[in-house]
Structures are given as C-alpha cells and as structure tokens.
Amino acid sequence: MEDLRKRGIRPCGKISGIRKHEVVIIRSHGVAPDILRKLKARNCTIIDATCPRVRRAQTYVQKLIDEGYYVVIVGEKDHPEVRGLLGYAGKHATIYKDNLKLSKKKVGMVPQTTLNQERFNGAVADLMADVIEMKIYNTICRETTMRINEATKIARKADIMIVVGGKNSANSTRLYQICRKLRRSYHIESANEVKRSWFRGIKSVGITAGASTPKRQVDDVVKKIRQMVPGRRPTPNA
C-alpha cells in the first residue's frame, strides 16, 4: 500500500470518495457487483485485478443462487473477499458461524479462498445433518494450502519462525497463528522490525511469508538476519 501511495495511487474504501472519470483498480479480493455498477455509472475506467480464484468463487456463488440454493459462505465476516462474495448472493446467503441453524433444505457452500481446509471441512460436517441437499464448491487456493503445509514443516525443524506479511493480511496472520503453536514466532511487516535479541541461543531460523508479501520484502528480512547472525543461514519458505 505504501508503494502504491508513492506512485500517486490512493486507497479508497467508499464509492463516495471516487470522482467521475477516475481510473480505479479493483484489488485482488474483488468487490460486489453493485460496486462495479456504481463505478460504471460514474464513467470510471476500471482495471480489474481480482484474483482469478476469487473470481471463480464469485461465479460459483452466482451459479448456486441461479440454481435455487441458499448459500453459506465460510470465511471471516469482515474480510473484503467475503463481503464481495455476499454481494453476489444478496439476501440469499449468510456467513457461517459455529452452531449455525438453518431452515433451508437446499444449501450451497463456498469457502473464502484463503481459508484453512480443516475449517471448511468442519463447517460442511456441521451443516450436513440439517439439510436435504448440499452442493459444495471448494474454492480454497491450493497455493495457500501448500504454504501452510510448508510453513508447518519448517516450524517443526527451526528454533524460531519469522512470518513476513501485513498485520492486516488474513493469510499472513493465519500463518503466524499456526507457527506460534509449534515454535516461538514473530510476525513482522519489514526488516526494520527484526531484533538481534530474538536470535540469542538460536541455531536455526525459519522464514515464511503471506501470499501478498512482495519477494523483495522477504529478501530484505533474510539479508538483515544474515547480517545480525553471521554464519547462520535462514531457511525461507517463499
């Protein structure tokens, strides 16, 4: 976000903050169709950077609605991707929560693309007994699952884990939560946050990063650790 600001691109969370005829970039999380309609009404030039996997999830939600299913979206209620998915379903959808009770007998389920697979499996099992017909589209990103698996393997071997990624990034935060259950871990956004005191008595360092973390940011962290702890080579999970 800071890099974009330096290039003169400002973030905007509300339509009211966008003027007519402006160039608007849709971020990877996507937006609800109503947002796109309003942008077009303002004659804005739209650059749609929605992740292809998120767009696929949007398509599946719309397909389920067209087929008469009530849609349950499994994910974080305040996550922008989830809000966008809800926009494709209107009043015919809800966000999953523990012990959710449904009166609907025909239910479709779609997960947030960065969701933990176990969380989705648990949600499906929880609702299965309450419905007659269930249609599932598993839109969880394989790269996200692979990243979690690799980070888990590294955390089991390393003495300490460093997770590089935005503090408001859902998948970076999830990686940190997983790693800290296995090893002492630190969630940082940049090399400036690395502290020499973390590595006292440490023989091996594991590094992982969120899907949206720029490679140069990870490289900077690796470089900083090598400078602080000569002779010890971090094991990155890119």
> Tell me, which fold does domain 143-237 have in CATH?
Cobalt-precorrin-4 Transmethylase; domain 1 (3.40.1010)
CB 76 within 8 A of CB 106: no
- pLDDT at position 231 over 80: no
- pLDDT of 97 over the 90 cut: yes
Mean pLDDT of 185-193: 95
Give dist(CA 69, CA 159) in Å, integer: 48
Average pLDDT of the segment spanning 225-234? 73
SS3 74: strand
The hierarchical CATH code for the domain 52-140 is 3.40.1010.20
For 136, phi and psi rounded to 5 degrees?
-120, 130
Q: What is the three-class DSSP state of 3?
A: helix
Q: What mean pLDDT do residues 65-69 have?
A: 96
**Of 2, 22, 67, 81, which residue is the catalytic one?**
81
CA distance 148 to 59: 26
More confident residue, 235 or 165: 165
Structural element, H or E, at residue 141? none
Q: What is the largest CA-CA distance in the chain?
A: 62
| 2-6, 14-18, 36-40: range with highest mean pLDDT | 36-40
Q: Which residues pair with 23 in a beta bridge?
A: 45
Q: Which of 166, 99, 105 is nearest to 134 (CA)?
A: 105
113: closest CA among 152, 140, 82?
140
Count of Cβ atoms closer than 10 Å to residue 47 Cβ? 9
Annotated catalytic residue 81: yes
Fold agreement between 52-140 and 143-237:
yes
**What residue has token string 């973030």?**
11
Segment 163-175 shows an average pLDDT of 89
pLDDT at 237 over 80: no
Model confidence at 177: pLDDT above 70: yes
Q: Count of residues for the chain? A: 238
**Domain boundaries along the sequence of the chain:** 9-48, 52-140, 143-237
At residue 238, the pLDDT reads: 44
Nearest to 111 by CA among 147, 136, 146, 139: 139
